[in-house]
Amino acid sequence: MPWARADGRIGGMTDFDVRAVTEDERRATLDLLGRSLHTNRISDDSWAQYGDSWPAAHKFGAFDGATPIGIASSFDTEIAVPGGAVLPLGAVDGVGVRADRTRRGVLTAMMAEQLDDFAARGIPLAALHASEPTIYGRFGYGSAALGKTVWLPRPAARLHERVPAAGDVRMLTPEEALTEIPALYQRIGLHRAGMIGRPAEWWPIAHDRLVGPQGSHVVAVHSGPDGDDGFVVYDTVDRRTLASPDEGAVLKVRELLAADAAARAALWRFLLSIDLVSGVRARYRPVDEPLALLLADHRHAHTTDVEDDLWLRPVDVAAALAARTYRAAAPVVLAVADRMLPANTGNYEVSPDGAHRTDAAADLALDVDTLGMLYLGQWSATALAEAGRITAHDPAALARADELFTTIAAPWCGTYF
């Protein structure tokens, strides 16, 4: 039997069903996800401790009879968009297909069901971190925010003397890290486009297991004039060998978040002051973070990699475009094509006054995945056109779109999911 969507579109010849996951199927689908990502089955102890972070809600499985062969999971949260508005977000946190059932339409069927669910529930945007970047463009996701990996060698890397030494940094006990950081993340807020909220089910698996009594990560908090305003989570990797017994450890920064530049600088100062360390490595930092400018010698801030971080999918194009702000430029009409959610297909006028559907002729034409790349301001319309992702019916409109969509700060997520 072919798997068919509710709207009658055929997904291909299949021998499986796609449906919502039930409560008693949670562990089996998590094990399936682990196998598809080449990790071990979850132990009884781990399931007892972290199973609540894998609720049945918003999970769609592909089943051969009663046996799960695929999983597409998400959780509801929110995301900051340019201009400061915060929109509902479907955060896709686990997608996998059993190895013997790949390339049979299973993934397409699950992703279509998930998108239909987002649309039916009025969620305007969806996002994910892509394990394989070539997969998700065909489902309408575009690489919307980048992250850089930085390497700071010690003791050469140090802050220059004009960086103020403000506030205080204290290290937390594992018990304090479990209770204090969720509230501090809420206090710091979603102050940059691309940052997302962290609901209750996010914390146990993504934070608690790393920083709690059984975890290996360390947490330090910065306090400024108005109280706690930043934190860093890091792990230590021992690089000593028989050949290099004095190599020293490497601090691997998992996350460093702060409410302002002073708190952020203080946390970097703290990391660079730790003894017996040969370097600090931090992945997925904002691409425009001016870390090199904080150093006495900027050459000691090495960007070793720049990679895609957040992938974004407009689910309701009209609502998403209307929610963000735009810079001053003459209007541009975008013709958006969306094969998976055809209700989005149409023309939209974007101007400093906002965005809305229109019957006017299109200046630029693009698929919905490219709109995801453009939306947060990471990529310019000109660059996307040069890459063959935008068709310019009016070439002069590219410069206008560049100005409309550009942002002062680069988008950044900062949250693993």
Q: From the candidates 118, 136, 326, 348, which is the catalytic residue?
A: 136
Residue 139, CA distances (Å) to 53, 108, 338, 352, 368 in order: 26, 8, 9, 29, 9
What distance lies between CA 242 and its chain's CA centroid? 40
Residues 106, 97 contacting (CB under 8 angstroms): yes
Q: Is residue 136 annotated as part of the catalytic site, yes or no?
A: yes
Contact 365, 384 (CB under 8 A): no
The residue among 369, 372, 397, 393 whose CA lies nearest residue 382 is 397
Residue tagged active-site, from 141, 284, 348, 417:
417
**What residues are labeled active site?**
136, 417
